[in-house]
Amino acid sequence: RSRSPGLPGRKDTQAPLCYRQHSIRGNAAQFMRKVGVELGPRSYSILIAPGLGKEAGRLFLEYSIGKRVFLVSNTRVFSLHGAQVHQSLQEAGFEVMEIFVPDGEAHENLHTVENIYTCLAAQRADRESTIVALGGGVTGDMSGFVAATFLRGIDCVQMPTTLLSQVDSSVG
């Protein structure tokens, strides 16, 4: 995979890849547990099951997620789980764009957030778009922050891939 050139005027080799749209072809339901977090109008569900990435498309349709999805991950996590999630979403009719962020706590900063904003703006993300955070705590934290602040807030789905990020994501 090649890196995106970064932002104009910067010598940035850590900018996310944000223009990748490609075709990939995709039953954890029997083991799924659903935990409701009751917060009045801000209530949400936590779905727990092995292999939910394969079910992402079906579940997103069930929960009426917007048809444009921005899948935020790092290349390491994406190589393990991303193709499966991308395929499931695409087969369910979602338009999926990938945004790659650098791995590690050192990159949890406003520069990385700015790169995500730039990718969202370049792809004309709107209030009906959804950010999907696929990865650990850094990816989840930054994606949640961007979703809350881009266009005064867009939907965000957390798909944590580590035990710590699963706990972190569930606390909201």
Query: For the segment 53-80, what is each residue's pLDDT rounded down to a tens digit?
Result: 999 999 999 988 989 999 999 999 999 9
Q: How far apart are CA 128 and CA 47, in angstroms?
A: 22
Instruction: Output the six-digit token pair for 142.
Output: 């930054």
- Rounded to an integer, the average pLDDT of 124-128 is 97
Q: Which residues in the chain belong to E strands, given as ranges?
A: 33-37, 44-48, 68-73, 95-100, 130-135, 155-160
Among the listed residues 121, 113, 171, the one whose alpha carbon sits nearest the alpha carbon of residue 146? 113
From 9-23, 80-94, 109-123, the region with the lowest mean pLDDT: 9-23
Which residues are CB-contacts of 41 (< 8 A; sequence separation ≥ 6)? none
Amino acid 30: pLDDT: 64
- Dihedral through CA 20, CA 22, CA 24, CA 27, nearest 10? 50
